[in-house]
Amino acid sequence: MARAAGVDRSFLYRHRDLLQLIHTAATTPPSGEGHAQVSRASLQADLANALERNARLTARVRQLENRLSQQLGEQAWRDSGLGAPTDIDHLQRQITTLEQRMVELQSQLEDRTEELAAARAANRELTRSLNQAHR
């Protein structure tokens, strides 16, 4: 039966429900030549459907295993403390804001330094003119 279906015998033994259907079909007397052909075709269609479903389920299991592996890996990476913080975007925005603020403060410092230098120069001129007037 396995050879006729194009599968290995171990496939039938792994799928007990198919094996039971085969044993039932083998022990049930055919009611006519047409009926036996329909049963065989039906079993082959069921087997083909089961193989296709098995392939889909195997692919889905593999996909789920990969997702689980990724999730567990990411969780282990976060738990180890070696990974980047989860709020890295927030930290990047904060760095940008602080850098902009630093540029603004440096500009203000330069302006005030220039004002201080001008005030000192004016103070020296006033002091010099007062000292010359008292002489």
Residue 77 has pLDDT above 70, yes or no: yes
Residue 45 has pLDDT above 70, yes or no: yes
Residue 85, token pair as written in the block: 């913080």
Q: What is the mean pLDDT of residues 107-132?
A: 94
Q: What is the mean pLDDT of residues 38-51?
A: 87
**What pLDDT was estimated at residue 80?**
82
- Give whole-number Cα distances, 48 to 20, 26, 41, 96, 117, in Å: 17, 19, 10, 61, 92
The most confident of the ranges 14-23, 34-43, 74-83, 119-128 is: 119-128
Closest CA relative to residue 49, chosen from 10, 5, 8: 5
What percent of the chain has pLDDT above 90?
Answer: 47
**What pLDDT was estimated at residue 36?**
53
* 21-35, 53-67, 76-90, 112-126: segment of lowest average pLDDT: 21-35
Residue 1 has pLDDT above 80, yes or no: no
CA distance 9 to 49: 17
